[in-house]
Amino acid sequence: MDHIQCSSCNRQVIPRLWHYSPILGRFRYLKTQHLCPFCGVEMYTTGGSINFVGKIVLVLLFLLTFSTIRRALNELGPVGNILASVIGLTIIAIIYLTAAKAVWRFIKSFISGVRNLISK
């Protein structure tokens, strides 16, 4: 196993691993602290990214926020409608641009694939 130099005691050590549940642990993977077995200093941590349940909650939160903003804009009347249109158009433009980029990447890879076939 690879040894890592501890930045505190400068020894070459195999880190001792400590798994723990991070903040909002239900929605994230376990975090792992890599501790120096000699001086106990935390060298680095890994893990803790958002898990499947967390992603679902994030999407729900996003939708909830979006509908709340929409309702607030509705209460503003005509100004709110204009704002809602601008926000909506911006989001649609972003979606279209992302889709266009994906299509462009696909076309490029298709062309280079055809070129490879011809040159063989």
The secondary element (H helix, E strand) that includes residue 76 is none
Q: Which is nearer to Zn ion, 43 or 87 (CB)?
A: 43
Is the Cβ–Cβ distance between 24 and 57 less than 8 Å?
A: no
For position 14 contacting Zn ion by CB under 5 A, the verdict is no
For position 39 contacting Zn ion by CB under 5 A, the verdict is yes
Q: Which is nearer to Zn ion, 14 or 72 (CB)?
A: 14
CB of 1 to Zn ion, least distance (A): 17
- Reduce the DSSP state of residue 53 to 3 states and report it: helix
Task: Give the rounded distance of the alpha carbon of 120 from its chain centre.
Answer: 40
Report which of 72, 5, 82 is spatially closest to residue 43, judged by C-alpha positions: 5
Identify the residue among 18, 38, 44, 96 touching Zn ion (CB under 5 A): 38
Site for Zn ion in 79-98 (CB under 5 A): none
Q: Which is nearer to Zn ion, 45 or 51 (CB)?
A: 45
Q: Which two tokens stand for residue 97?
A: 């641009």
Q: Which positions touch Zn ion (CB under 5 A)?
A: 6, 8-9, 36, 38-39
